[in-house]
Structures are given as structure tokens and as C-alpha cells.
């Protein structure tokens, strides 16, 4: 009776499959894929081992080729009396990247910059608009570019067709100024060398990665650049590339006028040079106890500290004038570390023994809950959380 009253109780659920809804119908198996091949596990394992063996053989052959290539580079370096890193650089410069990819990237950069500076120049379409303006020219005479430019400037409706945009003018002026600067520096250095027999050289580089200027250098004489090769073991071209890399990354045309940045740089230079002169990589600078912790311990002293700056930690210098003076002294080498002579060390030791320095320690801060009663278990009480150890001062039961 109940079954007839509620026929929906024997119905299949809505999420049942077609086979469950039709139990008397034959089940149609899905057709197997046409191009799929079945492999057993043993065949797959054998194929994997074969691939690994082929890979090992290939890596071994590749290593032999690389070793032979490296030996050939060493022979070339020994034959032509060059250093191995320089010969490796020369060999790599003939690679596919340097022969094609690098040139293509450079050409694309120059083309993009040219499009940006010549976007507003006169084109053939704009010339067709300008030609009616020059109809009064006699037959047989051609209009000059200067006349066309003048006609464009005089016509207010063609103000946007300026043959030379502001960007192009600025770029051309900068190129001419750079070229004139190089020539002027070269002439000044040659004249200085002729009058005083002084040697000098100068480097120029771009300050942005998207500029197309290449690094350049000038010297008072051709022999002055041999200083780089004999002393720093590098060439003028390599030094120019390093200067270009530094100028495009770290320089980037930014003025170092931030107080925090100058403070950190001054502190880093002082500590780094202290570790170099003491050969102690864990040395720490102490300004409050400079005589005992630095001079008496390492027998070195800091010379050339600027007179306008009080001797204190760079982090406590809060005026731009003082921090810039200290930064300039450290960069120029005016402020430097020096080893103390033995007489000065003995005199300092006697003074410290006669008048020992008393160290003042900061008092410990009072706790906020000093007078509050101790709390109970303040640790986590949830699942997976471990509570703190209970204090022995807390008595939970009276029997204890």
C-alpha cells in the first residue's frame, strides 16, 4: 500500500547513468582508438632503458667534443701568446648569437629609436599638400627643402607637419654636443700634455639602455691607454664596456641625494675597509668606544675625517651637508684607515691603563605586566596546537 502511495520511492535518482536507468538494455562498449598501440610494462621499461643509454652515450660524446674544443682554445692561446679567458671570449664572439642575433637586436633598437624621432617629419603625402603653396615658382625651378619647411611653418593649418620635431631637434643637438665635447676634451688633453707633459684620459658612455650611443674614450697620447693594459690587465674597449654597464644599471642618471642611502654607503665603506686592513672578516665598527674597541684592539685609526662632521656613526648624521662631505671624503680616499706606529700604540695603552674607559649599559625596560599576577596556560588550545608549559607557581588543586 505504501509502495503504490509513493511511487517515487522506486524511481532512479537523477544522477544515475544510462545503464542504471535501462538495466535490460545491452551495454555498448566504447570503440577502442584506431591508432593507439598497447604496450606492456616490460616493453615500456626496456624502451626507457634504451633512451637512457642513448642519452648517456650522447652526453659522453658531447663531453669529448667539448674537451677537444677547450684544448684547441688553449693551443690557440699558447700559440698567439694570449690569455685563456681572452681567447675564449674571442671564440664565443664568433657564435651565432654574436653574428646574427646581437646585430638584429641592435638594428631593431636603432630602427625603433629612429621611428620615435622621425614620426613627425615631412613625408610624401605631406609634400602633396604643400605643393599648392609653391605654385608661384617659375617653370623649370624646383623648390628647395628650406623653402618647403618655411612654407610649412608660415601656414598655421600645417603646424603639425613640422619637418623636424622637438625630439629630433633635441637628439640632433645632443649628438652634436657629444661630438663637440669629445673633440674639445681631446684637444684640451693634447694641449695640456704639450704644455706640462701631463698624461690624462677620459671615458664617455650612455646612461640609458635604450640610447644608441656607443662608449668612447680619448687620451692625451696613444701610449697613455697602455696604463689600463699593464696595470689593470684590460683594454680601453673592455673598460668602456664596463663603464657603460655600470652607467646603465647603477648610475642611470640618478643623483644620490637620499639621506638614508648615503648613510648606508658611508657605513658600508668604513666597515669594509676596516676588514680589509685588519684581515678580520668579522670586524665591527664601534664609534662610542672607538679607542678601546678599534684603536687598542686592531692598532689602526681612521684618518682624514672631515672637520665639519662630528665623529659619530653615519646613521646619526642627519644633515645632507655633513653626510655628503663624509661620502665625498670616503670616495676620494681622503678619509682612510691607517696602521698605527708602535709608539702611538704604546702611548694609547698607557693612557687607557691610567684612565680606563667605563662602559655604560642601557638599563632594561620595565615590563608592562610587572605587577600583574601570572597567567595560566596562554598557549593554543585548538586541535593540533601545543600549549605552553604550566608554571610551577600556579597551584590548581588544594591537595598540592
Rounded to an integer, what distance in angstroms lies between the CA atom of residue 89 and that of residue 392? 72
Q: Is the dihedral of CA 155, 159, 162, 166 positive or negative?
A: positive
Number of CB atoms found within 10 A of residue 150's CB: 13
Rounded to an integer, what distance in angstroms lies between the CA atom of residue 314 and that of residue 260? 9
Concatenated DSSP letters for 345-399?
Answer: HHHHHHHHHHSPPPPP-PPPPPPTTSSSPPP---S--STT--PPPPPTT---STT
Cell numbers that stand for 46 in this block: 626496456
Chain length of the chain: 400
Element counts in the chain: helices (H) and strands (E): 16, 4
Rounded to an integer, what distance in angstroms lies between the CA atom of residue 106 and that of residue 214? 11
Q: Which residues, in sequence order, are CB contacts of 103 under 8 Å at separation 6+?
A: none
pLDDT of res. 270: 94
pLDDT of res. 180: 82
Rounded to an integer, what distance in angstroms lies between the CA atom of residue 343 and that of residue 294? 17
The class of domain 259-354 in CATH terms is: alpha beta
Please answer whether residues 204 and 215 qualify as being in contact, where contact means their C-beta atoms are separated by less than 8 angstroms. yes
Could you tell me which of 209, 206, 203 has the C-alpha nearest to residue 182? 203
- List, in sequence order, every beta strand (DSSP E) within 188-339: 201-204, 216-219, 300-303, 336-339
Segments in the chain below pLDDT 70: 1-15, 36-41, 96-103, 110-145, 148-172, 250-257, 374-400
pLDDT of res. 1: 45
Pairing of strands 216-219, 201-204: antiparallel
Its pTM stands at 0.39
The neighbouring-strand residues paired with 216 are 204
Domain limits, the chain: 118-135+142-164, 178-251, 259-354
Amino acid at each position: 500500500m505504501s509502495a503504490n502511495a509513493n511511487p517515487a520511492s522506486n524511481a532512479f535518482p537523477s544522477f544515475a547513468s544510462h545503464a542504471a536507468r535501462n538495466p535490460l538494455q545491452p551495454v555498448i562498449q566504447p570503440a577502442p582508438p584506431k591508432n593507439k598501440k598497447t604496450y606492456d610494462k616490460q616493453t615500456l621499461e626496456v624502451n626507457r632503458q634504451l633512451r637512457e643509454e642513448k642519452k648517456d652515450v650522447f652526453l659522453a660524446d658531447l663531453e669529448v667534443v667539448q674537451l677537444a674544443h677547450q684544448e684547441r682554445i688553449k693551443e690557440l692561446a699558447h700559440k698567439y701568446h694570449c690569455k685563456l679567458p681572452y681567447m675564449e671570449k674571442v671564440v664565443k664572439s664568433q657564435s651565432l648569437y654574436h653574428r646574427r642575433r646581437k646585430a638584429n637586436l641592435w638594428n631593431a633598437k636603432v630602427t625603433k629609436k629612429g621611428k620615435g624621432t622621425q614620426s613627425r617629419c615631412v613625408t610624401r603625402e605631406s609634400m602633396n599638400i604643400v605643393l599648392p603653396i609653391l605654385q608661384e615658382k617659375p617653370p623649370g625651378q624646383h623648390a628647395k627643402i628650406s623653402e618647403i619647411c618655411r612654407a610649412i611653418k608660415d601656414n598655421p593649418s600645417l603646424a603639425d607637419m613640422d619637418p623636424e620635431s622637438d625630439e629630433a631637434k633635441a637628439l640632433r643637438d645632443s649628438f652634436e654636443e657629444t661630438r663637440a665635447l669629445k673633440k674639445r676634451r681631446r684637444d684640451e688633453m693634447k694641449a695640456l700634455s704639450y704644455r706640462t707633459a701631463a698624461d690624462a684620459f677620459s671615458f664617455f658612455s650612455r646612461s640609458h639602455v635604450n640610447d644608441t650611443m656607443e662608449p668612447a674614450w680619448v687620451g692625451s697620447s696613444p701610449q697613455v691607454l697602455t696604463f689600463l693594459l699593464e696595470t689593470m690587465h684590460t683594454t680601453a674597449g673592455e673598460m668602456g664596456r664596463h663603464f657603460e654597464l655600470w652607467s646603465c644599471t647603477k648610475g642611470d642618471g640618478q643623483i644620490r641625494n637620499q639621506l638614508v642611502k648615503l648613510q648606508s654607503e658611508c657605513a658600508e665603506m668604513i666597515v669594509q675597509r676596516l676588514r680589509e686592513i685588519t684581515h678580520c672578516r668579522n670586524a665591527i665598527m664601534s664609534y662610542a668606544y672607538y679607542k678601546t674597541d678599534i684603536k687598542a684592539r686592531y692598532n689602526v685609526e681612521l684618518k682624514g675625517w672631515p672637520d665639519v662632521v662630528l665623529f659619530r656613526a653615519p646613521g646619526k648624521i642627519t644633515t645632507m651637508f655633513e653626510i655628503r662631505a663624509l661620502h665625498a671624503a670616503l670616495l676620494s680616499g681622503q678619509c682612510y684607515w691607517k696602521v698605527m706606529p708602535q709608539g702611538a700604540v704604546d702611548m694609547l695603552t698607557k693612557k687607557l691603563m691610567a684612565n680606563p674607559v667605563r662602559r655604560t649599559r642601557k638599563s632594561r625596560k620595565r615590563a608592562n605586566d610587572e605587577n600583574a599576577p601570572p597567567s595560566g596556560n596562554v598557549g593554543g588550545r585548538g586541535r593540533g596546537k601545543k600549549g605552553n608549559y604550566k608554571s610551577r607557581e600556579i597551584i590548581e588543586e588544594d591537595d598540592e
